[in-house]
Amino acid sequence: MSNFRFGRNTPKEIDDSITNITPLNTKNSRNSIWRQFEKFCGERKYVFDGNTSTEKLAFILKDWGYNMKKVDGNDYKEAVIKTMWNFDPFVDLEFKGSRNARDAKRRNLQIQPEKRKTSSSILTLEEYNKILKIYNEDTPDGLQKMFFYVAGLELAWRGCEGVNVTIKHFKEESDNCGLPTGRIEYNCIFYKTAQGGSHKLTDSKWLATNTTDPRICPVRLYKKMLSKRGKHITTDRLFLTPNPAWREPSSVGWFKNSPVGRNEMGKWTRTAAEEIGIDKKKKKISNHSLRSTAVSQLAKAGVGEEQLIKITGHANTFSIKPYLQLDGDHHYQMIDKLRANSTAMEESNNKSTNCAPSALVQMSKNIVTTSPSTQTPVNYYNCTIINYNS
């Protein structure tokens, strides 16, 4: 037994341990930013040593914050500049001027349509159903993509979430008697990592049987995907690289023993949208569009924000505001109702001069002071039940 109560790890060992748990993408991003900063300082002939003052460093960072450029000399997009500032020196109080320079640069870029950040557009239900009809579930690629689009919508997956999904994130649900309920529970805490980095996803979501249209039943598609995983598959990633020779008698199976790459999966929804005729110049379509579509459609169907965050996994309702997008039809419906109410109010005012005092008071009560508990709420969204068969 050791005579020491506490650990004896050296600072280097501690730093190595921290490095080992840092995601590879984060490491690459940080290294890329520092390389560009070093090139910037070399071009400006800035030199750092032990005598470099904080004031000089603040001036250099302010210069970098406003004048950072791409290799070809063009400006970065506004969101890229924000990301490139996410490293330690910029958070210190002494470098407030540097942050102000960054903010000024971002504000200038936000004026330019090609530089400003745009959210992923929602898909209409018609567009979504067209995408589902592209694929044939009796092929490796078709089966995976059908499940991806159905699960991505019903579980409100983030854009890159599908890449990291494993078979250990799913578990068949059973009732108190141990009998299967027909639903499949999805929760990232079934495995080692959770959504949102260190934030645990405490609320489960479920894949439910679709009895209306079994063709797009997520439970059935998921079980079919599992049945097509050959014995040679050792990775627990759900989405695998299709085997081009899957039809051959000597083939090992539908899929290779390798996950679908992040860049490859990132193209799925955008490519499908182009295939059904969506103009990518008018609508920004990405895998994240499935999440935006889910939130927007549920909101239009009357689901409250407190219930929506149970689906999205957000900590509070403020985070789902960017997802609530109105399409053209719903915008026109809201404007029509607004104009109709305005016209009715104007007609009432015109008639008020001929009303008896008691009638005027009653009209005022009907228009202004009706109790919320008895007043019929205006359904601006013209709520309907989502029908995937349309």
CB-based contacts of 234, cutoff 8 Å, min separation 6: 257
In this prediction, residue 363 carries a pLDDT of: 33
In this prediction, residue 60 carries a pLDDT of: 86
Report DSSP letters for 46-85, one per residue: ----TT--HHHHHHHHHHHHHH---TTSPPPPHHHHHHHT
In this prediction, residue 290 carries a pLDDT of: 93
Instruction: Calculate mean pLDDT across residues 47-51.
Output: 78
Q: State percent of the chain over pLDDT 70.
A: 76
In this prediction, residue 360 carries a pLDDT of: 28
The predicted-structure confidence for 188-215, as pLDDT tens digits, reads as follows: 765 544 444 434 445 788 999 999 999 9
Please, what is the average pLDDT of the chain?
78
Burial of 284 (0-12, 13-18, 19+ CB in 10 A): middle
Confidence at 226, pLDDT banded by 50, 70, 90: very high
Higher-pLDDT residue of 336 and 282 is 282
Confidence at 160, pLDDT banded by 50, 70, 90: confident
Among 343, 335, 345, 320, smallest CA distance to 382 is for 335
In this prediction, residue 313 carries a pLDDT of: 80
- 8 Å CB contact between 145 and 135: yes
Angle at the Cα of 302 (from 297 to 308), degrees rounded to 5? Answer: 65
List C-alpha distances in Å: 311 to 204, 222, 316.
Answer: 8, 19, 12
List C-alpha distances in Å: 230 to 142, 220, 240.
Answer: 17, 18, 11
In this prediction, residue 382 carries a pLDDT of: 41
Numbers of helices and strands, H then E, in the chain: 15, 5
Higher-pLDDT residue of 27 and 162 is 162
Instruction: Calculate mean pLDDT across residues 145-172.
Output: 93
pLDDT above 80: residue 299:
yes
Among 12, 22, 10, smallest CA distance to 87 is for 22
Give the end-to-end CA distance of the chain in Å, rounded to a whole number: 70
Confidence at 296, pLDDT banded by 50, 70, 90: confident
In the numeric block, the tokens 């936000």 are attached to: 110
Higher-pLDDT residue of 191 and 8 is 8
Instruction: Report the sign of the C-alpha dihedral through residues 351, 355, 360, 362, in that order.
Output: negative
Higher-pLDDT residue of 79 and 41 is 41
pLDDT above 70: residue 378:
no
**Strand pairing report for 255-259 and 180-186:** unpaired
In this prediction, residue 307 carries a pLDDT of: 86
Cβ-based neighbour number of residue 122 at 10 Å: 24
Report DSSP letters for 336-349, one per residue: HHHHHHHHHHHHHH
pLDDT above 60: residue 89:
no
Confidence at 282, pLDDT banded by 50, 70, 90: confident
In this prediction, residue 389 carries a pLDDT of: 46
CB-based contacts of 33, cutoff 8 Å, min separation 6: 84, 87
Cβ-based neighbour number of residue 318 at 10 Å: 10
pLDDT above 70: residue 368:
no
